[in-house]
C-alpha cells in the first residue's frame, strides 16, 4: 500500500503540529502538577480547535464534522497524541456511535457534540465485566414504555466533564444454541443516552491512577433510574453490534495516539544520544546505546505500517474484502501499544537518571504508556482476536 501523504494530509499534519506546540505543550506542566484542566483552558482549547477545523474532524461533513477519512484521522491523532492526554482529548472527537442518533436525538446529542457545545462519554466497563462485556450486570428492565436502570459502571473516562453518557446495559439473555461452546449466559445489550443529572443516576469520583493526569475516570451508579424509550440509541438488544463498530475505530485511535508518543520519546532519545558525551564521545556511538535506537526505530516503523494499513482498509467499502477487519484493528492496537511501552522504557534507559525527572516529558510518557495495553481491549484480548481470526478459516474447511 502507498502511504505517501497528499497535499491535504501534509497541511493537516502541519496544522496539528503547530496547534500542539502552541496550544497544548505550554499547559502540560500545569495539568501534570494540578491533575486538572481548568474549565477556562478547556473552553479555550475547544474554541481554538473549532476555529481551525480540528474539532469533530472524525464526523462526516454532511453532519457538520471535518469529514476526515480513517487514514487522515490517524495522522491527526498521531500529532495530537504527542501531548498530555487530558489536553489532547479536549480537541473533541465525538463518538462515532452517535451517528446512530435519529430524529430529536440528533438535535439534542449529535449536533451539539459536533459543534463543541456538549461532550459525551461511554459507559461499558463494570467492576465484574471488563474484557467480557457480555457478562455485564448493569441492567435495563422494561416498565411500560420506559426502561429502569440499575447497576454500576466504573473506569468511565472523562465522565466528570461530559454532558451525557452513552450507557450500555443488559436487556435480556440470548438463547443457548450450541451448549458445547457455551461458557455462560450471553446478555443482550442495549445502548441508552443518559443526561447528567437524571434522577437515579449518580456520578462519583473514580480511582487515583498513575496514568494520564488530568484525564479522570469516574464511577457511575444507577438506582432505579428511569429512561424513556426515546433515549434508546439504535435498536433494543442491538447495543453490542453498535459497540463492536465503535471498538474497531477506538482501537485504531489508540494505536495512532501511541504512535505520536513513540515519536516524541524517540526524538528525545535520538537528540540526547547525539549530544550527550561520555568517555570523550557522544553516547550514541556506543553500540549499547546505538543498537537501542535501532530497535526503537524498527518497532516504531512496524507499528506505523500496521496502523496505517488498517486505516487504509477502514477507508475501503465495508462490503469488500479490503475492508478493515477486527484482526486489523487488533494488530494495530497491539503493535503500537507494545512499541510505545518498549520505546518509552528504552528512552529513559538512554537518558539514565535524568529520564525519570519531571523536567522532561519522558517519565510521563512512560507512566501513560502502561494503561494503553489494558483499555479498549487488553493485549491478551487483541492476541485472542488475532489468533481466532487466523484459525477460524482453517477450522471451517
- Integer Cα distance of 228 and 231 in angstroms: 6
Q: CB count, 10 Å around CB of 281?
A: 9
Longest dimension (CA), the chain: 80
Helix boundaries (H) for the chain: 7-19, 28-34, 39-51, 70-80, 85-90, 104-105, 111-114, 239-275, 287-315, 326-351, 362-372, 379-395
Residues 6+ apart with CB under 8 A from 7: none
Contact 53, 66 (CB under 8 A): yes
Cell numbers 507512566 label which residue?
367
Strand partners, 173: 187
Sign of CA dihedral 201, 204, 207, 213: positive
Catalytic residues: 376
Amino acid at each position: 500500500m502507498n502511504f505517501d501523504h497528499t497535499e491535504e494530509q501534509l497541511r493537516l499534519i502541519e496544522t496539528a503540529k503547530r496547534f500542539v506546540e502552541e496550544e497544548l505543550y505550554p499547559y502540560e506542566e500545569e495539568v501534570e502538577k494540578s491533575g486538572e484542566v481548568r474549565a477556562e483552558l478547556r473552553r479555550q482549547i475547544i474554541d481554538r480547535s473549532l476555529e481551525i477545523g480540528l474539532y469533530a474532524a472524525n464526523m462526516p461533513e454532511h453532519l457538520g464534522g471535518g469529514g476526515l477519512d480513517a487514514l487522515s484521522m490517524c495522522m491527526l491523532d498521531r500529532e495530537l497524541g504527542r501531548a498530555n492526554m487530558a489536553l489532547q482529548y479536549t480537541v473533541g472527537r465525538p463518538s462515532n456511535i452517535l451517528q446512530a442518533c435519529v430524529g430529536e436525538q440528533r438535535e439534542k446529542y449529535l449536533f451539539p457534540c459536533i459543534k463543541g457545545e456538549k461532550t459525551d462519554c461511554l459507559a461499558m466497563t463494570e467492576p465484574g465485566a471488563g474484557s467480557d462485556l457480555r457478562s455485564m450486570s448493569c441492567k435495563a428492565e422494561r416498565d411500560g414504555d420506559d426502561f429502569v436502570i440499575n447497576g454500576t459502571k466504573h473506569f468511565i473516562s472523562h465522565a466528570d466533564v461530559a454532558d451525557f453518557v452513552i450507557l450500555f446495559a443488559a436487556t435480556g439473555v440470548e438463547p443457548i444454541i450450541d451448549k458445547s461452546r457455551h461458557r455462560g449466559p450471553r446478555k443482550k445489550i442495549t445502548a441508552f443516552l443518559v443526561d447528567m443529572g437524571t434522577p437515579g443516576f449518580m456520578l462519583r469520583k473514580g480511582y487515583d491512577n498513575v496514568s494520564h493526569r488530568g484525564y479522570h475516570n469516574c464511577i457511575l451508579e444507577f438506582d432505579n433510574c428511569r429512561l424513556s424509550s426515546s433515549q434508546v440509541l439504535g435498536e433494543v438488544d442491538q447495543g453490542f453490534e453498535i459497540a463492536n463498530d465503535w471498538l474497531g475505530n477506538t482501537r485504531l485511535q489508540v494505536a495512532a495516539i501511541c504512535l505520536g508518543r513513540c515519536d516524541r520519546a524517540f526524538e528525545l532519545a535520538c537528540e540526547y544520544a547525539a549530544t550527550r558525551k561520555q568517555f570523550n564521545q557522544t553516547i550514541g556511538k556506543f553500540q549499547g546505546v546505538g543498537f537501542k535506537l535501532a530497535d526503537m526505530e524498527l518497532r516504531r516503523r512496524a507499528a506505523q505500517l500496521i496502523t496505517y494499513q488498517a486505516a487504509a482498509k477502514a477507508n475501503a467499502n465495508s462490503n469488500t474484502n479490503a475492508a478493515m477487519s477486527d484482526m486489523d484493528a487488533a494488530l494495530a492496537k497491539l503493535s503500537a501499544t507494545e512499541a510505545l511501552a518498549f520505546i518509552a522504557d528504552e528512552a529513559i534507559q538512554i537518558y539514565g537518571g535524568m529520564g525519570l525527572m519531571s523536567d522532561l516529558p519522558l517519565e510521563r510518557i512512560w507512566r501513560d504508556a502502561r494503561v494503553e495495553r489494558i483499555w479498549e481491549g487488553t493485549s491478551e484480548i487483541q492476541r485472542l482476536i488475532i489468533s481466532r481470526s487466523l484459525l477460524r478459516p482453517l477450522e471451517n474447511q
